[in-house]
Structure 1
Amino acid sequence: MGLGRVARHVHLPLLAKLDRHFAVSAVCDSQPGYADQVAGELGLTGSAVFRDTVSLFSCGEFDAVLLLTSGSHAGLAAEALRRGYPVFCEKPLGHTPEEAALVADAGGRLMLGYMKQYDPAVTEALETLDPSAIRHIDVSVLHPPERFPATDWVPASAPAQTHSGAREHWEYRAVLDSACHDVALIRLLAGVAELDVDRASSWGATDGESGSLEFSGPLPRGRYTVRWHFLPDYPEYEERVRVHTEHGTRDLSFTNPYFFGADSGFERELLAFHSLVTAGTPPLSGPAEGAADIRTGLRVLAALGKSA
């Protein structure tokens, strides 16, 4: 469900690669031509092409749903869960705690697409990292406009997103749309359920574009800091995570996530979703973690208000 850039550049190619685990039986997108063209590439018949979720769910000839639409995913996720389908859900889960509650109330099995939690370097770090020894986790993100590999799956244009409420604050959008990956990574490395925020500042924003955002808060025996910078002319995406412990420092780095090789975090998270569907293996982030990250975003706004 949803055949935009992330679906075309990441999930569809990986599903084809992982054909021992997955078979695409239906595609759905509201944009004219998207589903038809993808179905043609996959060799699916017209009966597997849908423009709306009502007709898709009425078909019902599938085991699970990959929810890859843009914006909030809460409504569609809750609908799929109520119908008994396990859901792989791209971020953000929703824009508000109320939306997250809709998903929680629906029950069922849902996994959030926080691929950095499944990155091989993160998995290796977790094998030796003692969360109780962490003094500081320092995250720095240099984020130019997103760049994707060339593709001819579907037209490159996509509808503009609209935002309301807290989403009108670019800082909140930055947390929910990008820095949520860092929030999730800190949660995992530090072994905590969610992050509090006691300091935040932002600067450098221009009309229509985000700027720089910094926020920080406590960990059980230390602190974390996230520095997120939108840089329109920066040459390439760059992220560095430094975990300082009583025994040493662990460095993690990430480049443009949409240019990835074999055994990537994207591939590993899809295999984790397969385990969730077939064996009930809990994901690293589900509805509870998605709701916690929404609350962290709201805490960033509250901290910004106090510092204004």
Structure 2
Amino acid sequence: MKIALVGCGAVTQAVYVPLLSRRRDLFEVVAVCDLSRTLADAVGDRLGAPDRHTSLHEMLAGGGFEAVLMLASGSHGEYVRQALAAGYAVLCEKPLALTRAEVAALPEGRLMVGYMKQYDPAVRRAEELLAELGGPGVIRSVEVSVLHPSGESQLAYANLTQARDVDAGLPASLRAAETALVSEALGESAPESVRNLYGVALGSICHDLSLLRRFTGSPTEISYVEMWGPAPGSIEISGPLPVQGRFTIRWHYLEDYPAYRETVTIHHDRGSLELVFPSPYLMNAPTTLTVVSGGESRTEWRDVTEAFEVQLAAFHAFVNDGRPPLTGADGGLEDIVTAQRIAACYAVQHDLPMGGEAA
């Protein structure tokens, strides 16, 4: 399948380039696009892509491919809209967008939202075991803990190509556009603390929201939100699960912490299912599933199959065979709504102004 890449930054270089290089049985990258011609050339050279662009509009008009991998940072809503309107299938990295309105504006088309943890073999195994136990109705609680070092420390090994050829005014205009979208989501008067919370919810905690969607369904209520420490700091979120039980998410940005660590534990009446995720940038590092059952029995389960690679194969099957993705536009919208509920709950608790869609 001939594809194009949009965005040639850290995740593309560290994750997608090596995976696409070894999955040439599924994909041929024929075009790349980035604001930086340096990055477009670096990624294009590594993947053998003949067409390099700094304009999405020009790349889409030029064609020659069937699908687009939307890997740029920030909101993807407008870029996805353009690609779908041009008739291309799209795999969009999270988050799909920053506002509900952006999702509502998307035309009909083939869209898959990339939450690679949903495709992790350990997660799929946990889903199977939970179904055997009786599904969401047996869950007492879901407890999430994320210890998040700086992105620079997580990617220090990757020897990334840096962009130094983009006009300084262009990133500033893009940041202004993102600020306007966040104002649309939260209201013009939303303070910086609420905006930062919303950014973390859609930029990182959304992975845990995507797992809740798989295990229990999206939360329909947020009961409590607190933040502390220097921004982005530490965040705690809790509320009821849609069937029964409650969830708690504790997310900590710890710039110099030795290594990324994410733990998701499902407690039920007869035991627990615990998932421990490594850094997402380490290819084929296995997630550990620990099953705690009767008689204090503990069984560990691992699979070195790379979740990002399974996700890419799922996108290929979606486009060619019509096999539905685990998350489409509806799931992406659910996570935006939940993130807005999180921001609104914090604003109400602290008597802060809140408007826009989240109101």
Asked whether the two chains share a fold, i.e. TM above 0.5, the reply is yes
CA RMSD for the aligned pairs?
A: 1.8
How big is the shift at 1:136?
A: 0.7
Q: Tell whether the 8 Å contact from 1:78 to 1:102 is kept in structure 2 after alignment.
A: yes
The residue that corresponds to 1:297 in the other structure is 339
Q: C-alpha separation between the residues in 2 aligned to 1:32 and 1:62?
A: 20
Deviations 1:148-187 (A, max 9, x none): 1534563266968734124942111110000000000011
Question: 2:283 is paired with a residue of what secondary structure?
Answer: coil
Q: Tell whether the 8 Å contact from 1:89 to 1:110 is kept in structure 2 after alignment.
A: yes
Q: Which amino acid aligns with 1:297?
A: A
Q: Tell whether the 8 Å contact from 2:197 to 2:343 is kept in structure 1 after alignment.
A: yes
Q: How does 1:233-248 map onto structure 2 within 5 Å?
A: 233-248=256-271
The residue that corresponds to 1:15 in the other structure is 20
Q: C-alpha separation between the residues in 1 aligned to 2:109 and 2:30?
A: 21
Question: 1:224 is paired with a residue of what secondary structure?
Answer: strand
Q: How does 1:277-292 map onto structure 2 within 5 Å?
A: 277-292=319-334
Deviations 1:227-280 (A, max 9, x none): 111112211111111101122100001111101215111111111111111111
Structure 2 stretches of 5 or more lacking a match? Answer: 1-5, 285-303, 351-359
Q: Which amino acid aligns with 1:202?
A: M
Question: 1:26 is paired with a residue of what secondary structure?
Answer: strand
Deviations 1:101-150 (A, max 9, x none): 122xx111111111111111101111110222111110011111111153
Q: Tell whether the 8 Å contact from 2:17 to 2:47 is kept in structure 1 after alignment.
A: no
Percent of residue pairs bearing the same amino acid type = 42
Q: C-alpha separation between the residues in 2 aligned to 1:182 and 1:293?
A: 10
Q: Which amino acid aligns with 2:251?
A: W
Q: Which amino acid aligns with 2:115?
A: Y
| The one of 55, 58, 66 aligned to 1:55 | 58
Question: 1:33 is paired with a residue of what secondary structure?
Answer: helix
Q: C-alpha separation between the residues in 2 aligned to 1:68 and 1:196?
A: 31
The residue that corresponds to 1:213 in the other structure is 235
Q: Tell whether the 8 Å contact from 1:9 to 1:149 is kept in structure 2 after alignment.
A: no
Q: Tell whether the 8 Å contact from 1:116 to 1:122 is kept in structure 2 after alignment.
A: yes
1:274 equivalent to 2:316? Answer: yes
1:96 equivalent to 2:99? Answer: yes
TM-score (norm 2): 0.80
1:202 equivalent to 2:227? Answer: yes
Q: Tell whether the 8 Å contact from 1:149 to 1:258 is kept in structure 2 after alignment.
A: no
Q: C-alpha separation between the residues in 2 aligned to 1:145 and 1:296?
A: 25
Q: C-alpha separation between the residues in 1 aligned to 2:160 and 2:201?
A: 29
Q: C-alpha separation between the residues in 1 aligned to 2:274 and 2:159?
A: 37
Q: C-alpha separation between the residues in 2 aligned to 1:156 and 1:116?
A: 28
Q: Tell whether the 8 Å contact from 1:111 to 1:273 is kept in structure 2 after alignment.
A: yes
Max Rg structure: 2
TM-score (norm 1): 0.92
